[in-house]
A and B are shown apart, each in its own frame.
Chain A
Amino acid sequence: MTGNPQGNLLEVRGLKKHFPIRRGVFSRVSGYVRAVDGVDLVLKQGETLGLVGESGSGKTTAGRCILRLIEPTGGSVVFDGVDLLGLSPAEMRQMRRKIQVIFQDPYSSLNPRMRVGSIVGEPLAIHRIAKGTDREHRVADLLCKVGLDPMAMKRYPHEFSGGQRQRIGIARALALNPRLIICDEPVSALDVSVQAQVVNLLMDLQEEFSLTYLFIAHDLSVVEHISDRVAVMYLGKIVEVADAESLYRDPKHPYTRALLSAVPVPDPDAKPQRIALKGDLPSPAAPPPGCAFHPRCPVAVEVCSRLEPKLLDSGGGHLASCHLVHPDGAGPPV
């Protein structure tokens, strides 16, 4: 039942989300935050695509648009051959069985007044898949799968540690046998030793249930470890995509290079050749013209402030949008 010949489970094209900025007594729209501004992503069945970028670059917004937890402004999202943006709310609810999400914050993403059994079993109840003892058995099964004692069912979220709560969130996401899981910073709030346990769990479950992951995170080392391919996002756009090994060994885009050079390495003798960036991330309400990265780019040339570079293949499926990587790759003049 795979939707298309390349084995792509998810194809995102030209995805946009522009949040209106309202000002004044009449709440007139005075502008737009271009949180996601033309994103193309492809996920093959069974792979993990890492999505990295600075805070505010639009990673969460992109993930939520794919799930239609917020409505995109434009673009298309094709999942397993079906255009999600054309579905009615009822059809979309059915589709959500196949696409699940795991959130960053294991503390606030679980209802504190519900017992763990009800939290994990809720999707089964909503979709009327199982009830009574049958549901209880399935919940017990799910808890075992994520390494928790089935007795956890009877307890409340506050009785668990951060890592255990993240396991509860994962069990809940698995309840409906999804095919795609959007993991939005699933280990960012966890300590290193717990993070390692959860990363391993996610990799084991992926193998067992042939899951596909969109893995959003800002920790570049974790992303390198878990991903097959990695996409780098900057101000609402993808600036580079490649398989993990080639992206980390041979980053093409100046932003990716700067990002990688800034990662602190656990080696006191490392002599980091850090590439400094000028200033802070500009506001997505007023992205710079041309290449959105040009005001901070250490190697920008004249053309960068005028023309927007396209995301083009620089060999072997390694895509980058930079005039220095693709001297002839300019988009239309702005």
Chain B
Amino acid sequence: MPPEAAPLLEVEDLRVEFDTPEGKSRAVNGVSFQIQEGETLGLVGESGCGKSLTAMSVLRLITPPGRIASGRILYRGRNLLTVSEPEIRKVRGKEIALIFQEPVAALNPVFTVGDQIAEAIRVHHKVSKKDALAEAARLLKLVQIPDAERRVREYPHQMSGGMCQRVMIAMALSCKPSLIMADEPTTALDVTIQAEILDLLRRLKEEFRLSLLLISHNLGVIAGSADRVAVMYAGRIVELAPVREIFASPKHPYTIGLLRSIPKLGERKRSARRRLYAIPGTVPDPYAHEAGCPFAPRCPDVMQACRREDPRLLPLEGGRKVACFLHHPAHPSSEAATS
């Protein structure tokens, strides 16, 4: 067997907690995954499951009352959770860039987009303002903004949502990072614009051999862009597999339910309106720390062990992983092994 190349990013047992008057919320509850060089990892899951917090943890952007309670985040072998403050600042933008969901809100309304990109460049590189602005225009061209020389002098409010998102991508590219984390990069956009932005991300990824962490709640977006997919539920990754496997043969009952509950385009037969499959119930309260699998109260296949023990994310064949007792027998000692 050929030795696996060392991953670019390795997240191990990440935990993010919130200490609030209502109690302790385990918003990210033991998340582990890897991203290889040049790979796109899709992170899917419903609102509140901890996707954004996971990405923000990588750059140590969690603010109180939230805190990273434990875990390791190895970037090129270095643990980002223990490096000094000046060092993590060097990583932000230069090594790893984060694109936020709301492109318009993420830009500063009082500066031109050119100034903002130039500023991002000058944080990490000693170049003149003039050269930085020229570079900004080049980047706008790279993300296919027409008439880039003129538009560097425009303000965010003069641009559409799609244009602003292109500006955010240009800014993310400005310091030539190795990894871009895109948090719902197209959620606020129309489908036509969404398709263009996804094309752009795919093209840039190939051109610059970038790695991408693509966060989305839209399984269609993930299917078209990711190499591997991590499915999150209630602060954990419940399934991790190559993209084809996730869609062709989902293993975790939550993944199966999620895939069944999306209406698919062109499925409709003449005059037949069928009910959609709906996963019963709701996500668990993050403050209640029930024993067992977090999906147990909604799971159609729930067994006794599921309510007692926490299933761990363990490997199956074909490089995939699942956290479910249907696929791994329960061990009374497994709890002791993790703690």
Contacts and interface: CB of A to CB of B under 8 A. Distances in A.
Interface of A: 54-55, 161-164, 191-197, 199-200, 203, 218, 220-222, 224-226, 228, 243-245, 248-249, 258-260, 262-270, 272, 274, 276-277, 279-281
Nearest to B257: A193
Contacts of B62: none
Contact of A265 (B190, B220, B275, B277): B220
Nearest to B190: A54
Contacts of A163: 282
A194 B47 CA distance: 11
B162 to A, nearest CB: 6
Given A162-B47, A192-B261, A196-B279, A268 B223 contact: yes
A203 B275 contact: yes
Nearest to B276: A196
A218 B264 contact: no
11 contacts: A55-B161, A191-B46, A192-B217, A194-B46, A196-B276, A196-B279, A224-B266, A224-B267, A225-B267, A266-B220, A272-B224
Contacts of A277: 192
A220 B259 CA distance: 17
10 nearest A-B pairs in the assembled complex, by CB-CB distance: A264-B220, A196-B278, A225-B263, A191-B46, A196-B276, A196-B261, A262-B195, A262-B191, A266-B219, A193-B279
Contact of B262 (A192, A194, A243, A260): A192
Interface residues of B, number: 50
B81 interface: no
A158 to B, nearest CB: 12
Contacts of B24: none
Given A193-B46, A196-B261, A224-B263, A265 B282 contact: no
Contact of A200 (B221, B264, B270, B275): B275
A265 B192 contact: no
Interface string B34-71: 00000000000011000000000000000000000000
B320 to A, nearest CB: 14
B314 to A, nearest CB: 24
A200 B80 CA distance: 46
Summarize A's interface: helix, strand, loop or mixed: helix
Contacts of B268: 224-225, 244-245, 248
B261 A264 contact: no
Interface in B254-311: 257-259, 261-271, 273-279, 282-283
A228 B272 CA distance: 9
B195 A264 contact: yes
Interface in B215-273: 217-224, 243-244, 247, 257-259, 261-271, 273
Given A191-B46, A264-B221, A221 B198 contact: no
A35 B198 CA distance: 29
A245 B163 CA distance: 34
A193 B191 contact: no
A264 B275 contact: no
A330 to B, nearest CB: 26
Nearest to A190: B47
B273 to A, nearest CB: 6
Contact of A193 (B198, B220, B261): B261
A198 to B, nearest CB: 9
Contact of B269 (A222, A245, A272): A245
B264 A268 contact: no
B190 A218 contact: yes
Given A192-B219, A193-B279, 16 more contacts: A163-B282, A193-B278, A194-B282, A196-B263, A196-B276, A225-B274, A228-B273, A244-B268, A245-B269, A262-B195, A263-B191, A264-B195, A264-B220, A267-B223, A272-B195, A276-B196
B79 interface: no
B160 interface: yes
A280 B221 contact: no
B193 interface: yes
Contacts of B264: 221, 265-266
A262 B269 CA distance: 21
Contacts of B112: none
Nearest to A245: B270
Contacts of A244: 268
